[in-house]
């Protein structure tokens, strides 16, 4: 049986892992390569790295760091932030990453999804989206608007419509990172995650808001997520990956228990 994936997210700023609430008040937590190796040894199923300042500062992603991570871990990982062209994607993949996450870039230029999928395969192209709950149901039938640039800018894209479009363009997976839940540790945005999971045939990853193992369990059952991203709850040391997995397994959720 396919197991549900637990994916630690490492936000990188100046080559340090940081964590903030809604992209604000970031504090440094440690070295990305060391943290990746540790989470891998503790049984995480995949990793994701976001170079959170690369696109804002208009500089390319840190390829040397990607290459170091690839040497340090034997599990798949995705990289996002600071990817602007097919050439950037190619460099990240050649450095040893499995997947590229596109977010703002895909909103500005949706064709990058199909170009990336054609060049490297759909499984490489992850659409990351940062939806925000909105009142205006006429403009946003799902009740969620896609934001870009680290939540700073709202677009006119409906979150569910955008997910379907990305699937049509050839995305292999969709990460739904709720603006409202991000950093709160009060639980994932289950309604939104469930809407996207029901709308597309590709895997959907819940992101934003995980604070306790029950939150992951809800994302996998109520919202039908295929994977869940965690950050603060493990970065602070409050929970370990084995403890989260043990809780999920006890709740009857299929997770990888030996590594």
Partner 1 sequence: MIVIVDYGAGNLTSVRLAFEAAGVPATVAADARAVREAARVVLPGVGAAGAAMRNLNALGLVDALRASVARGAPFLGICLGAQVVFERSEEDGGVNGLGFLPGTVRLFRPASRWDKVPQMGWNAVVPRRAPGGAAHPLFAGIAEGSEFYFVHSYYPAPSAEACVLAETEYAGVRFASAVGRDNLFATQFHPEKSGRAGLQLIANFAKWNGKS
Site membership for partner 1, residue 12 (CB under 8 A)? no
> Residue 13, SS3?
strand
Structural contact between residues 145 and 131, judged by C-beta atoms closer than 8 angstroms: yes
Within 157-216, which residues bind partner 1 (CB under 8 A)?
172-173, 197-198, 201-204
Per CB under 8 A, the segment of 14-22, 26-34, 114-122, 143-151 that binds partner 1 is 114-122
156 is an active site residue = no
71 is an interface residue for partner 1 by CB under 8 A: yes
Backbone angles phi, psi at 30, to 5 degrees: 160, -175
The site map against partner 1 for 119-148 (x = CB under 8 A) is -xxxxx------------------------
Local structure of residue 75 (DSSP, 8 states): S
Interface with partner 1 includes 96 (CB under 8 A)? yes
Is residue 245 involved in binding partner 1 (CB under 8 A)? no
Q: What is the CA radius of gyration of the chain?
A: 17
Question: Which entry of 45, 62, 130, 226 is annotated as an active-site residue?
Answer: 130
Q: Does 39 bind partner 1 (CB under 8 A)?
A: no
Task: Transcribe 205-251 into DSSP letters.
Answer: EEES---SHHHHHHHHHTS--SEEEE-HHHHTSSS-HHHHHHHHHHT
> Is residue 224 a contact point for partner 1 (CB under 8 A)?
yes
At residue 169, the 3 state secondary structure works out as: helix
Span between the terminal Cα atoms of the chain, in Å? 16
Give the residues lining the site for partner 1 (CB under 8 A).
1-5, 40, 45-46, 70-71, 74-76, 93-96, 98, 120-124, 172-173, 197-198, 201-204, 224, 226-227, 256, 258-259
Q: Tell me which residues are annotated as active site.
A: 11, 130
């Amino acid at each position: 049986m396919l197991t549900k994936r637990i994916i630690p997210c490492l936000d990188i700023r100046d080559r340090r892992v940081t964590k903030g609430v809604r992209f604000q008040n970031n504090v440094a937590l440690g070295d990305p390569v060391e943290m990746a190796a540790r989470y891998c040894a503790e049984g995480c199923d995949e990793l994701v790295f976001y170079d959170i300042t690369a696109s804002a500062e208009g500089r390319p992603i840190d390829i040397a760091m990607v290459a170091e991570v690839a040497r340090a871990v034997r599990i798949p990982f995705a990289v996002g932030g600071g990817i602007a062209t097919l050439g950037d994607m190619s460099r990240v993949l050649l450095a040893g990453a499995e997947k590229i996450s596109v977010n703002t870039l895909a909103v500005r230029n949706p064709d990058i999804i199909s170009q990336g999928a054609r060049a490297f395969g759909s499984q490489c192209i992850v659409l990351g989206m940062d939806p925000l709950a909105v009142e205006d149901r006429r403009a946003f039938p799902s009740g969620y608007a896609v934001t870009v640039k680290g939540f700073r800018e709202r677009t006119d894209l409906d979150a569910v419509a955008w997910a379907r479009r990305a699937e049509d363009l050839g995305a292999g997976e969709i990460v739904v990172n709720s603006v409202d839940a991000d950093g709160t540790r009060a639980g994932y945005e289950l309604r939104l995650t469930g809407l996207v999971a029901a709308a597309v045939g590709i895997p959907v990853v819940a992101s934003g808001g995980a604070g306790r193992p029950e939150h992951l369990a809800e994302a996998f059952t109520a919202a039908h997520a295929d994977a869940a991203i965690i950050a603060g709850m493990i970065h602070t040391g409050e929970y370990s990956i084995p403890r989260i997995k043990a809780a999920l397994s006890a709740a009857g959720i299929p997770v990888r228990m030996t590594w």
